[in-house]
Structure 1
Amino acid sequence: MNTKEGGGSASLLGTEGKAGEAQGGGGSSSSSPASPPSLCFSPSAGSTGMGSTERQREKARVSRTSLILWHTHQNDVAAVRKLLEEDPSLVNARDYDSRTPLHVASLHGWMDVARCLLDYKADVNAHDRWNNTPLADAEGAKKKDMIALLKTHGGSSFGQNGSHFEPKQVPPPLPNKCDWEIDPSELDFSSSTIIGKGSFGEILKACWRGTPVAVKRILPSLSDDRLVTQDFRHEVNLLVKLRHPNIVQFLGAVTERNPLMLITEYLRGGDLHQYLKEKGSLSTLTAINFALDMARGMAYLHNEPNVIIHRDLKPRNVLLVNSSADHLKVGDFGLSKLIKVQNSHDVYKMTGETGSYRYMAPEVFKHRKYDKKVDVFSFGMILYEMLEGEPPFSNFEPYEAARRVAEGHRPVFRTKGLHPDLKKLTEECWHADMSRRPPFLEILKVLERIKEAMPPDHPLSYFVTKN
């Protein structure tokens, strides 16, 4: 557990620099208090076989749909109004989950945006994929003013009152008694320090039974929020199942009292983001060893039939065990998804703009269906950063960097003397076609071959220079 790109903290805490989070208007960081909005758009029927003109029109339509949903989420009424002036039909634009701009505005309580949408004749009783109306969303989020506004415009309440964020049934509550339930009195915060902070809580270094630990603590005011607790329990249920040397170890949780807390091991070395910021480009040996640790952890997560897709792999979520920086672990599973695969040929794909922009796979940014290969793409971007000593597209803001990737651009290698096989592996990992990206088990084999082929008397750190 650690801070996120842009200064936020774990996904459950409402992080910055992440897809779908509000950067203006004082809004929530996601379409629910703990999940990015489902800004994903379905191509029109018959889009295959279209001519170039039709494809351009379809691309423009998807782009405009993305924009109005995004600006609605950002509570940017001026931008929403401008789009509607140009194309009034956008008022009822829909994403993959059939959610309209009014659904988004209603969930967050964005009154001015909602009034603007209603002025342009938004369908006040539009049903999303889970049969929820905007009023059902407003009621689920307890937005009293929005509820009153929608009712005056003929809004009706249908659906599950906002419980639409996951198509699958919400798992049952955790058992009252379990071997990992921690009594909060055992946690010593007398000399604690904050190591991460966000909209929904904070991460602190504390002490548990004499051992330094990292504690993700939900704000007491949100510990009774159904959607926050739902995501908290999801992360706990996931972490309980994980046991691997390259995965941050879950130690326990406080689920029976407020505030809710999740406790993991505390890693003294900090995160890879800070390490790279201080060290710059890494030697070939260090880059290989770091990459091996990450790939081992990710290969464990991607093991079938129970595949865990991390969905937010980036340097801030890769932690150094100690100050010697000789061992890494993958952490922060707030956005991870556990997918059951019946056989190795199953297609298990999801949609939604989820994760951190700078390391985001193009299919995610473009709201296409995706699978576990999004993690391979992020791994490739991290490998580039370790070799080059700077983040991919460091001269662009995160969102613009993701846009460039979606347009087909990739970071430029500027360091001379890079190991050609490492460069080739990086390029394979960030391939535009996710089916052509190698799985982590294959990545491990390649990294091991590169390491073994190095001369034994060589320090394994090439002399490199920048252009």
Structure 2
Amino acid sequence: MKNGEDSGIGSLPILQAKGNKPVSCATSPSSSGTSPCVSPSSGVGSTDRVREKARVSRTSLILWHTHQNDVSAVRKLLEEDPSLVKARDYDNRTPLHVAALHGWMEVALCLLDNNADVNAQDRWHNTFILKNGMRSFYQPLSDFFLCSFLTLTFHGPCLGAPRKDETHQWRNGPEIMLCMPLADAEGAKKKNMIDLLKKHGGSSFGQSGSHFEPKQVPPPLPNKCDWEVDPSELDFSSSTLIGKGSFGEILKACWRGTPVAVKRILPSLSDDRLVTQDFRHEVNLLVKLRHPNIVQFLGAVTQRKPLMLITEYLRGGDLHQYLKEKGSLHPLTAISFALDMARGMAYLHNEPNVIIHRDLKPRNVLLVNSSADHLKVGDFGLSKLIKVQNSHDVYKMTGETGSYRYMAPEVFRHRKYDKKVDVFSFAMILYEMLEGEPPFSNFEPYEAAKRVAEGHRPMFRAKGIHPDLKKLTEECWHADMSRRPPFLDILKALEKIREATLSADHSPAYFPAKS
């Protein structure tokens, strides 16, 4: 929330779970065996559920690697679990069906060597022998595409398995012959595969197989269903207010049993075009970010009102409150905190897709826990994503964006600027950690920013600060933004200063204090 300074994949594989209850795999299969979702209606106990999830995951893996023609991965899976040769997807198609359809000879041989059923039947109703006699070519093909669509359809923002009320119309439709791997190979005109399957006793019912299935898709990728949250899952019964601004509030709530931080837009502003635009902009940025020193985005409510953004809840609170309670920090503690901030900012500033935070301040830097072990950078409501063509390019962006007390002079003056505005704000925070008070604390925020724009900088008064740390801070708040170091260089300098400070005194007092 902002209130000046003071406001605080295409279709996924659908698998068949125990008891013919459908579930949808919402993650990309990997060799590590990432478990897909399990239907909450499966009715198994916790132990059985774990076992069932593992089974569904392995099923997903072997079907996926078969589709990818990855014979070594298929062989490895079969060595670990020979029963996977009989794995079935939601439509009872085995790995051999998939290999036959695409003509993957090595994979098919591997499966057959592991006793794959050459005449396994799938559940697709797509041969052209109907119980009501022969129809035209187009009607059964149309029926098949209808079946495919209902099976792979999207429900709301997420892909899911078909529900009973959506499938009864075609499940009671014409009774059509089931298909075998050989029918797939014949329908796809894979001559070598046809010869191989016939050699192993393959039979063919009909001529079309299941080769009219929708076009195969790339590996499942995260989409909206990965992060869109149903607001009914959020429990505000024992929520506490973390912060409040002019556009909304930040609450500690509970989501699926886990404490989370929820930024909730005021209902009265949910229809405001600019507010919703800023909200969606922040969500789109956070979805892309993955770093230990960046507050982790968990989900958002974008389809209903009020709009809500959900992130991890960090128990240590923000740096502003921490400094207010602790005062000036020991230099090594300040360096440790500065390293965490710089790591997060170096990640954001990585070219060519640079994210300029534009509101880096103590309130937007959060402590992981009450022990103050680590920091994370958060609140990207004013951040700007730009594609850098040249490292020395500057950009015309909104002036006076952010909090005045930590604002770079070029922003205050409405000049063109780049990612180095974050380096300036970082320097002001580093100063505050060392001195125990905000820069120009005897001035109002606007007046403080004005003094900075006029060339003034806060004075160091604290004793025991390493000269190189002072020098680095002064370089970071240089009036000429081109002379401010990038965060990768700041990290190197801080590491050297840390080592020098440690070697100067090995006493325990030099290690970061625990609150």
- In the superposition, the TM-score normalised over structure 2's length comes to 0.56
Partner of 1:416, secondary structure, is: coil
Kindly provide the CA deviation profile for residues 43-80 of structure 1, in whole angstroms up to 9, marking residues without a partner as x.
Answer: xxxxxxxxxxxxxxxxxxxxxxxxxxxxxxxxxxxxxx
Taking every aligned residue pair, what percent have the same amino acid on both sides? 90
Kindly provide the CA deviation profile for residues 185-217 of structure 1, in whole angstroms up to 9, marking residues without a partner as x.
Answer: 100000001111122211100000010000011
| Contact 2:2 2:246 (C-alpha < 8 Å) held by counterparts | no
Q: Within 1, Cα distance between the matches of 2:330 and 2:401? A: 32
Write out aligned runs for 1:221-236 (5 A).
Answer: 221-236=268-283
Whichever residue aligns with residue 257 of structure 1, its letter is R
Partner of 2:299, secondary structure, is: strand
Which residue number corresponds to residue 492 of structure 2? Answer: 445
Aligned with residue 293 of structure 1, among 340, 344, 352? 340
Write out aligned runs for 1:205-354 (5 A).
Answer: 205-354=252-401
Task: Return the offset for 1:226.
Answer: 1.8
- In the superposition, the TM-score normalised over structure 1's length comes to 0.61
Partner of 1:192, secondary structure, is: strand
Q: Within 1, Cα distance between the matches of 2:7 and 2:468? A: 35
Kindly provide the CA deviation profile for residues 264-313 of structure 1, in whole angstroms up to 9, marking residues without a partner as x.
Answer: 00100000001011111111110110000000000000000000000000
Partner of 1:243, secondary structure, is: coil
Q: Within 2, Cα distance between the matches of 1:359 and 1:341? A: 24
Task: Return the offset for 1:344.
Answer: 3.1
| Contact 2:2 2:247 (C-alpha < 8 Å) held by counterparts | no
CA RMSD of superposed structures (Å): 2.0
Task: Return the offset for 1:453.
Answer: 2.2
Which residue number corresponds to residue 409 of structure 1? Answer: 456
Q: Within 2, Cα distance between the matches of 1:183 and 1:409? A: 50
Q: Within 2, Cα distance between the matches of 1:309 and 1:400? A: 24
Aligned length: 297
Q: Pick closer, same or farther for the CA change 1:272–1:235 going to 2, 3 Å.
A: same
Whichever residue aligns with residue 383 of structure 1, its letter is L
| Contact 2:3 2:246 (C-alpha < 8 Å) held by counterparts | no
Partner of 2:457, secondary structure, is: coil
**Structure 2: gaps of 5 or more residues:** 9-221
Write out aligned runs for 1:62-461 (5 A).
Answer: 177-456=224-503, 458-459=506-507
Q: Within 1, Cα distance between the matches of 2:474 and 2:508? A: 21
| Contact 1:4 1:316 (C-alpha < 8 Å) held by counterparts | no
Whichever residue aligns with residue 442 of structure 2, its letter is N
Task: Return the offset for 1:343.
Answer: 4.0
Kindly provide the CA deviation profile for residues 14-36 of structure 1, in whole angstroms up to 9, marking residues without a partner as x.
Answer: xxxxxxxxxxxxxxxxxxxxxxx
Partner of 1:178, secondary structure, is: helix
Q: Pick closer, same or farther for the CA change 1:292–1:176 going to 2, 3 Å.
A: closer
Q: Within 2, Cα distance between the matches of 1:318 and 1:4? A: 16
Q: Pick closer, same or farther for the CA change 1:314–1:459 going to 2, 3 Å.
A: farther
Whichever residue aligns with residue 445 of structure 1, its letter is K
Whichever residue aligns with residue 350 of structure 1, its letter is M
Q: Within 1, Cα distance between the matches of 2:223 and 2:476? A: 43
Partner of 1:185, secondary structure, is: helix
Task: Return the offset for 1:350.
Answer: 2.5
Q: Within 1, Cα distance between the matches of 2:330 and 2:2? A: 26
Q: Pick closer, same or farther for the CA change 1:296–1:176 going to 2, 3 Å.
A: closer
Partner of 1:188, secondary structure, is: strand
Q: Within 2, Cα distance between the matches of 1:436 and 1:460? A: 36
Q: Within 2, Cα distance between the matches of 1:461 and 1:419? A: 15
Q: Pick closer, same or farther for the CA change 1:206–1:455 going to 2, 3 Å.
A: closer
Q: Within 1, Cα distance between the matches of 2:223 and 2:337? A: 39
Q: Within 1, Cα distance between the matches of 2:350 and 2:247? A: 31
Whichever residue aligns with residue 435 of structure 2, its letter is E
Kindly provide the CA deviation profile for residues 408-457 of structure 1, in whole angstroms up to 9, marking residues without a partner as x.
Answer: 11001111232101100110000011110000000000000111223445
Task: Return the offset for 1:462.
Answer: 6.9
Give the 4+ runs in structure 1 shifted more than 4 A: 2-6, 460-463
Q: Within 2, Cα distance between the matches of 1:346 and 1:455? A: 38
Q: Pick closer, same or farther for the CA change 1:368–1:459 going to 2, 3 Å.
A: farther
Partner of 1:179, secondary structure, is: helix
Which residue number corresponds to residue 8 of structure 1? Answer: 7
Q: Within 2, Cα distance between the matches of 1:298 and 1:396? A: 28
Q: Pick closer, same or farther for the CA change 1:200–1:351 going to 2, 3 Å.
A: closer
| Contact 1:358 1:401 (C-alpha < 8 Å) held by counterparts | yes
